[in-house]
Structure 1
Amino acid sequence: MEVNPLHSDPWRPTNLCIDRQVAAGRAMSSAVPPQPVPPLDQTLREYLRALEPLLPPDEFQHTQNKVLKFGQSGGLGPRLQDGLLRRARTSNNWLSDWWVQHAYLESRQPLPVHSNPAISLPQRDHCDWRGQLLFASKLIAAVLDFRAKVNTGQLPVEYMRGEPLCTQLFPLLFSSCRIPGPKHDYISHHALSRRSPTHITVVRNYQFFQLEVYNSDGSRMTESQIHGQLLRIRAASWKTDKEPMGLLTSEHRRTWGQAYKRLLRDKVNKDSVRAIEQGLFTLCLDSPVMRISDEKYASRMAAQVLHGGGTFSNSGNRWFDKTLQFIVGEDGSWGLLYEQATAEGPPIATLLDHVLDYCQKPDPKRSPLVPLPMPRKLYFLIDKDIKRDIEHAKQNLDILINDLDVNVFNFRRFGKDLPKQHGLSPNAFIQVALQLSYYRVHGEVCPACDMVSLRMFRGGRTEFIRSPTRQTLDFIQAFDDPALSREAKLQLFREAVDVYSALTDRALRGQGLDRHLLGLKLQAIEEGLSIPKVFMDTAYGLATHWRLRTGQVPSNTDSVMCFGPLVPDGYAVCYNPQADHVHFSVTAFNCCEETDAETLARSLKHTLGQLQELLQPPSATAAA
């Protein structure tokens, strides 16, 4: 069964706390209200405010005239707004399908680096293949336990501000896969089919295996059963003349779509590909990587999860189209790589929290004394055309990987407790710090996007928070002015943080501007109209050229998310604030001479330290 379900956005959990309570998850989904369509005049007003710090006065006036004309009574804007309101009355969510189709499935860029987020998790204490397989067995059992709770409606319902959050995505995490196409991709989803798959795929040494993880009576396999099967897979995967078939999924989507058609002409290949696509999830057993300094270890491990390290490392151990890929290394490194057209950050966070909790417990089940079938190796018949496709994929992926600079660091001077002690939002604090850090490196502010979850609404995904604001620009321009007093700078800083917090609150209530603007544009296309001039304006292109792709990724553990920039001359910055420290990842492309991940990271560390001194002057700290 192949369907196109509701899809999702990248992982950007909100900076607000999420409470979990045990309840019937499926029943609670119906209690979640529909996502509202914001008022047109409000969105256009906020759009102009967002443009103000980015445009010179004459360009701003030119754009303002276009925006006012678009929104005037009887004009095109109100007509499109009426169309969105009609759509909202007749759909599960007026935006989500459009957003996923536009942002993901129609994108032709490769999935690694450009799209799939990676989560690098705290290193385990094993240091060889034996420990790798023991932990991988526990990991598989933990994910199967989570799936059982999803299927039986026993997953704790999450609440934000006392309101239940939408749970529609959880069943879609399993047995789903992105399928390449010439003009756009689609999602193949099998978990809700009449015969739900009972296997996962395991890849080691570039070779794929189908591993059944349920017994004949429908019970889940125990950890010891799974461990025995992984030992058999390891013994069967020493072949040295293998071809890294998974590399094909790293290609430009149109290129991979053409290769996909060629690959599936053969029945053996088609059966193997279908087994991967239909599997509950994929486990990647990575080979050892070259040892490096402790200082660079975190960056290397994040990169390994993100793209596999290159064609001479573990990149062939991936199927980038697969929704869930758990990566386990021999040195204790591990993480999760997910395809974001189907998976979204908050459900992924819930899954990982469950896995981490489960891994603290001993295996409670005894293994039944029954023989298990040998895991099935997935074979591929490779002709000269497919061989050529693989060679091209190797070259292109190595170019992409070598072009990406990954810098992961742990800022230890303070964590989220510091801004909280001063009545400031930790996320807004860091967002203003990022703009100041960028300004110090490049001499200007830039369009930046941060995302909050819209799971308070049925089928909701995410919304952008745009920065900088005028208040942020005022603070940035004043901060390095020696003529201004500390008190004046502190006041400007508080105003910038508070305004950003207000934007966050508005977005959480479904009153953000970015997705509404996109909806108006797509509604025009839906009605067969020309794209409105307001969206063809230079200012619109400038304001959506996201030079800072950012995301707060709060977690109960010292994990860090990593992904590539959205534009060639941009950065991507993820952060996980803990009580007394903050984990950061910064990425940039080496091909752009203007950007450098290490330089921005250094500027960010320096800026955060100065903001700490702004809140807590050294003299005041000493007096205390």
Structure 2
Amino acid sequence: MLHKMLKLNHISYRNVSVAKFKVRSFASKGIIVKDLNYQYLQRSKVPTFHFQKSLPRLPIPELDKTRKRYLNALRPLLNDGQFNEALERTSNFVANEGKQLQAKLISKDKYNKHTSYISDYWFDLYLRDRVALPINYNAFLVMQNDVRPEYNNQLVRATNLLVSAVRFMLSLREEILEPEVYHLQPKKSNTQLFRTVTGLLPASLSWYGAYLFKAFPLDMSQFTGLFNATRIPMLNKDKILRDPTCNHVVVQKNGNFYVFDVLDMDGNLLSPAEIHGNLAQILNDNSKADFPLGVLTTQNRDEWANQRTHLEETGNQEVLRKIDTAIFNLVLDDVCIDDNKHKLLAHYLHTDGCNSWFDKSLSLIVTKDGVSGINFEHSWGDGVAVLRFFQDIYTETTAKPFIGPENTPSDKQITVKKLEFNLDDKSKSFVEKARKDYSDWCNSLSIDYILYEGLTKEACKKFKVSPDCIMQLSFQAAYHLLHGNYVGTYESCSTSAFKHGRTETMRPCTEKTKLFCDNLHSNKSTKQELRSIMRECSTYHSELVKQAAMGQGFDRHLFALRKIAEENDLPRPELYDSYEYKFLNKSILSTSTLSAPSVLAGGFGPVAREGFGIGYSAFPDKLGAAVSAYKAHNNSSQFVEALNKSFVDITKILSE
């Protein structure tokens, strides 16, 4: 059952009551009363990183099991001749180079018990890639609007989000943020008794105590990457800069950058009125940047690295560092979404780049009509940390906001400063070129969405099929309907139940899904026969999810073995240059889900030029997906039409 909580759409959340008491802190001018009710979003009895020491380590799969899983994933994609070649090549690899590489990987892992075998390789993979961050890597999540329209005012919502986000960060800094735990039986484990018992246990035993309650703590190591961090462009390989000593935020509006401290000299969060006042000052400035530097972060990483070096050499080092070290980026966009879903998806995925800084680990975005969300850089972490932050601040800002529409911004303690850049003609030419190139790139993209109300998450469960399987089966059926074949499909699955776990690839295109789609579109099978195949698909799908979540996939293992060969200057095994390996790893259908009550939409760009990027959710009242593609190769609206037909066909089969 452990695998269930590792699909991101199964993560559970809890509200943690804040202890109602105050402590005294000493400042240079006497004693100041510090209100802990205000400073911290949570005050957990169990320290944030209490379970970290005893988390199980990510297992290295057995080589022969990886062979079998890899071949099973290849089978529906290849003809008999291609598969026989792949079978021979893979068996030779396992019998020869694979054994040597496996031994070296196991040996290395034994000497690095503080982390997982995949963590450093995965960071390196991201940071070495030279492609631009937006569309290619950065993902987005959009919040549900507040049910009270007056609280969706841009200034009101931005102030509340900023206050709650910093309260979340302060709780994390003080290590009193509730640890992320999946409760298999919440009535038994999501209790004060659980927190008391596990909190009293030594950190080295705490995970085992949680396990006895049928609760599974998740890795919290990525959470620190949310704040005071930026990915810095460097030639060949970027770096992540972090400086948790800084107490300011950076705010963008009309291409301009503003900074102000949200914590005072004693580390206390400014009052809501003061934050409200500083943001009002920014919103009242209607000037537009002639040369918005944010668009430079939309480029190839080497090109941007060279340009950034020039900016630093021409007197902009300090202002760039202000951006890099800010707690996070707050983007105030002068754009109204007007309930236009196409506009919403395009805006949060890429915008025009002029009022963005895609290098920042986290950007909170609030439009002129109060639509709010996040665009985040991906190298530092994955969905578990982002979704937890997203859910917690949404819950607080909609349930107990600190500022309302009736509040007047304070004109006291206004400390906001506008960053000024020294731009020579060369720097200005960088901006002009980047703006044009990025506009052309964004215009080449096709984005559409589907909200299908004929089937729901609970209905899928009632029919005894996995909602995630139904979504993935529908993607396969839609692609097959359009193209008549099957392609490499990627579904992200979290391995955060393990120390420094990242993700594993789940391969949802299987022989069983192929059988279902073939029979569905040939019209040769009865609905009863199709329903039987669908349930087989669901059973097998759930098993693959379980394997991936438990660190028993094959993709990360094969990737690590390749990196071991590179590290040891060993010949590159033939397997990695084979047709079948490249075909499988060309993710034509790249899919991921981040679901929570707070999420209105989420998505990302296509991984391959010929592919689709599909962010999806099985909601309580509908099924939804955001689909992106490049117009030169695919039409996202055409795919959405095929997907709708697949949903309708599957609904008919189930309802019979």
Same fold (TM over 0.5): yes
In the alignment, which of 368, 383, 402 is matched to residue 330 of structure 1?
A: 368
CA contact (8 A) 1:201 1:208 kept: yes
SS in 2 for 1:336: strand
Shift of 1:234: 2.6
Q: Which residue of 2 aligns with 1:596?
A: 635
Q: Which consecutive unaligned segments of at least 5 residues does structure 2 have?
A: 1-5, 17-43, 185-214
Report what 2:413 is aligned to.
Answer: 372
| 1:382-421 paired onto structure 2 within 5 Å | 382-421=423-462
Q: Is the 8 A contact 1:207 1:242 kept in 2?
A: no
- 1:446 and 1:604 map into 2 onto residues whose CA distance is 16
- Per the TM alignment, residue 364 of structure 1 is displaced from its structure 2 partner at its CA by 8.8
SS in 1 for 2:482: helix
After superposition, residues 499-514 of structure 1 pair within 5 angstroms as 499-514=540-555
- The answer to whether 1:83 aligns with 2:83 is no
Q: Which moved more, 1:212-221 or 1:275-284?
A: 212-221
Residue 348 of structure 2: aligned partner: 305
Q: Deviations over 1:42-101 (max 9, x none)?
A: 0011111111111111111111111111111xx211110011111211221111110121
Moved over 4 A (4+): 19-22, 124-130, 364-371
Inter-CA distance 135–286: structure 2 relative to 1 (3 Å threshold)? same
Residue correspondence of structure 1 range 51-130 to structure 2 within 5 A: 51-72=74-95, 75-91=96-112, 92-102=115-125, 104-124=126-146
Structure 1 gaps, min length 5: 1-11, 618-624
Q: What's the secondary structure of 2:626's corresponding residue? A: strand
Q: Is the 8 A contact 1:407 1:598 kept in 2?
A: yes
The match for 1:271 is 318
- Aligned partner of residue 202 in structure 1, secondary structure: strand
Name the counterpart of 1:203.
252
- Return the letter of the residue paired with 1:358: E
Which of 472, 479, 482 is equivalent to 1:438?
A: 479
- The answer on 1:614 being equivalent to 2:653 is yes
Amino acid in structure 2 at the alignment position of 1:610 = D
Map of 1:577 onto structure 2: 618
Post-superposition offset of 1:241: 5.4
Counterpart contact for 1:546–1:567, Cα < 8 Å: yes
Which secondary structure state, in structure 2, belongs to the residue aligned with residue 484 of structure 1?
coil
2:8 alignment partner, SS class = coil
Write the mapping of 1:277-292 to structure 2, written as runs, cut at 5 A: 277-289=324-336
Residue among 555, 558, 569 paired with 1:528: 569
Compute the TM-score of the two structures, normalised by the length of structure 1.
0.90
| CA distance, structure 1, for counterparts of residue 158 and residue 289 of structure 2 | 26
Deviation at 1:586, TM superposition (A): 0.5
For residue 28 of structure 1, report the CA deviation from its aligned partner: 1.2
Structure 2 length-normalised TM: 0.86
* Residues 212-291 of structure 1 aligned to structure 2 (within 5 Å): 212-235=261-284, 237-240=285-288, 242-267=290-315, 269-289=316-336
Structure 1 match to 2:226: 173
The Cα of 1:334 is off from its aligned counterpart by 1.6
The residue that corresponds to 1:460 in the other structure is: 501
| Paired amino acid for 1:277 | D
Which residue identity lines up with residue 299 of structure 2 in the other structure?
E
CA gap 1:241/1:86 in 2 versus in 1, 3 angstroms: closer
Aligned-pair CA distance for 1:288: 2.5
Deviation at 1:124, TM superposition (A): 4.5
Over the aligned positions, Cα root-mean-square deviation in angstroms equals 2.2
Deviation at 1:560, TM superposition (A): 1.3
Question: CA 1:349–1:290 in structure 2 vs 1: closer, same or farther (change >3 Å)?
Answer: closer
Give the Å deviation of 1:449: 0.4
Distance 1:520 1:107 in 2: 19
Q: After the TM superposition, which residues 115-194 of structure 1 pair with which residues of structure 2 at under 5 Å, given as runs?
A: 115-124=137-146, 131-160=153-182, 161=184, 162-191=215-244
Equivalent residue pairs, number: 586
Partner Cα distance (1:241, 1:599) in 2: 38
Q: Residues 247 and 19 of structure 1: is their aligned pair in 2 closer, same or farther, counting only changes over 3 Å?
A: closer
Aligned counterparts of 1:603 and 1:575: Cα–Cα separation in 2: 15
Kindly indicate whether the alpha-carbon contact (under 8 Å) linking 1:178 and 1:321 is maintained by their aligned counterparts in 2.
yes
Contact between 1:326 and 1:334, CA under 8 Å: does it hold in 2? Answer: yes
CA contact (8 A) 1:126 1:330 kept: no
Q: Call closer, same or farther: CA 1:327–1:71 in 2, change over 3 Å.
A: same
What letter matches 2:239 in structure 1?
A: Y
Letter paired with 2:218: L
Supply the AA of the counterpart residue of 1:300.
Answer: K
DSSP-derived class of the 1:388 partner: helix
By how many angstroms is 1:368 displaced?
13
Q: Is the 8 A contact 2:152 2:371 kept in 1?
A: no
Instruction: State the 1:556 CA deviation.
Output: 1.4
